[in-house]
Structure 1
Amino acid sequence: MGGTGKIVKRKLSNEVFDRLYELIRSGDYPPGESLPSERELMESLGVGRPAIREAMQSLERQGLISIQHGQRPKVLQPTASGLISQLDLTARHMLMQSPESLEHLKEARTFFEVGMAQRAAELADAADVARLAALLQRQRSALNEDCEAFIAADMAFHRGIAAVTRNPIFTATSEAMLGWLARFHSKVLHWEGNEQTTLTEHEGILRAIEAHDPAAAAQRMADHLRRARALYQSAAKEAGARAGESLLT
């Protein structure tokens, strides 16, 4: 018979969470304002300290409040970067457990990057172009440093393009995807002898953005990422082959 299952009693901390979330959602406690103390909440809600603390921890994990020792919990202003950062641990676990998910991430990154390059070409002003040019120059200078510096400068250039879109969700998503890819491609992100090609392609993307040519910016970004993805795959195969040889010797 439908609807006759047992009613599961909810944990007190869940009830406390719902009460506090509603106070935040309704604006009774806007961003920047502190919530009542533990003692005040225990008295007003009629529950013990464990339920209050567990509910507070859940609110913190959701990015709704910050908890500092010796201070009342403070309501946070929701941001795109805060929202995306909450996915970080789960995303890393998924990518570690599923090679297929890593391929999906690469495809998603290409989709975002191409669209962001196009949007950047539509919106970029002189200051944006100057910032991107400085990031590209930083990457050129990194040729004289180690590969980690070159990779960091490479990622900074791509983040710079995301910033030109003026869309914080694009920026946060780009930051997260670049970070996840760097973590799982740390062994093959740098390809000896292809640095100048990367710089030339970045220069082409920058010039298309400067010329306010969305189609060219999108195409040059797509070509750049297609070549880079092929190099990832080639380097990964070589690394796997070397690992296999070392096991046999």
Structure 2
Amino acid sequence: MKQDPLAPPDRIVRRKLSDQIFDRLRDMMASGELPPGAAVPSERDLMERFGVGRPAVREALQHMHTMGLITISHGERSRVNELSAGSVLARVDDAARMLLSAEPEQLEHLKQARRMFECGLVRVAAENATVHDVRDLRDLVGEQRARIGDAETFVTADMAFHARIAQISANPILMATSQAMLRWLFQYHGVLLHWSGNERITLGEHDGIVDRIAARDAEGAVAAMGAHLDRSNPLYRHPCS
């Protein structure tokens, strides 16, 4: 294709030295040259290796620290962090909470996403749960029943129940995502006041979900979870609502 002589030239963007250092260090981590727990080369070593000044090195290291790739400790060598799905998602907790607080409509989006996600998880649970998994779920419902009267610990037990269903998937990304959604949702402390009087309804619904999982009734488990979330979702309210 003939190039239009009047078209603006393709611009060559010069990348910051710190960005290039960041990429090189990240590649060293990915290749195993800098495995989890390893000490990051000193600033002087990096300056000599890459032929750059100290400010660029420090900026790159600070960026890596902010992203959770390394931990910078004053007086000690920086270390490469061991990453997991949970640790990565935990890094966005504050940003997610700010988004939910600044834009109340995002709470409804979160509840919708959680419903779709949990219904998928409970289907997987019904198809794969072991006797041990079912026993754990029943124990968790029993523990939650013992928390009636203490709203905060009751809600904590509720989160543990849903997290245990996610655990049956044996998929660390699904498990971490489930826990992240629960953390973001339960930031609304006003929910504790709205749970009063609904505890036994919640427990009955949890019992029904476990029964369907134990029976390997995937469709029944999905229906039970959907009904449970449809009933409980209105309890999660933005403080301004």
TM over 0.5: yes
Instruction: Establish whether residue 43 from structure 1 lines up as the match of residue 48 from structure 2.
Output: yes
Amino acid aligned to 1:54: E
Question: Contact 2:185/2:236 (CA < 8 Å) preserved in 1?
Answer: no
Correspondence for 2:75: 70
Selected match of 1:177 from 181, 194, 201: 181
Aligned-residue RMSD, C-alpha: 2.1
Normalised by the size of structure 2, how large is the TM-score?
Answer: 0.88
C-alpha separation between the residues in 2 aligned to 1:58 and 1:40? 18
Selected match of 2:131 from 126, 130, 153: 126
Correspondence for 2:190: 187
Aligned residues, how many?
A: 234
Q: Deviations over 1:147-184 (max 9, x none)?
A: 1111111111111111111111111111111111111x
Instruction: Establish whether residue 111 from structure 1 lines up as the match of residue 110 from structure 2.
Output: no
C-alpha separation between the residues in 1 aligned to 2:152 and 2:65? 34
Question: Contact 2:122/2:222 (CA < 8 Å) preserved in 1?
Answer: yes
Which residues of structure 2 form unaligned runs of 5+? Answer: 1-6
Amino acid aligned to 2:224: R
Correspondence for 1:84: 89
Percent identity over the alignment is 48
Selected match of 1:54 from 59, 67, 83: 59
Question: Contact 1:14/1:55 (CA < 8 Å) preserved in 2?
Answer: yes
Question: Contact 2:89/2:177 (CA < 8 Å) preserved in 1?
Answer: yes
Q: Which is richer in helix?
A: 1
Normalised by the size of structure 1, how large is the TM-score?
Answer: 0.85
Q: Deviations over 1:93-144 (max 9, x none)?
A: 2111212211110000001111111111111111111211221111001014
- Per-residue deviation, 1:72: 2.6
C-alpha separation between the residues in 1 aligned to 2:182 and 2:143? 18
Amino acid aligned to 1:78: L
- Per-residue deviation, 1:35: 2.3
Correspondence for 1:20: 25
Amino acid aligned to 1:152: T
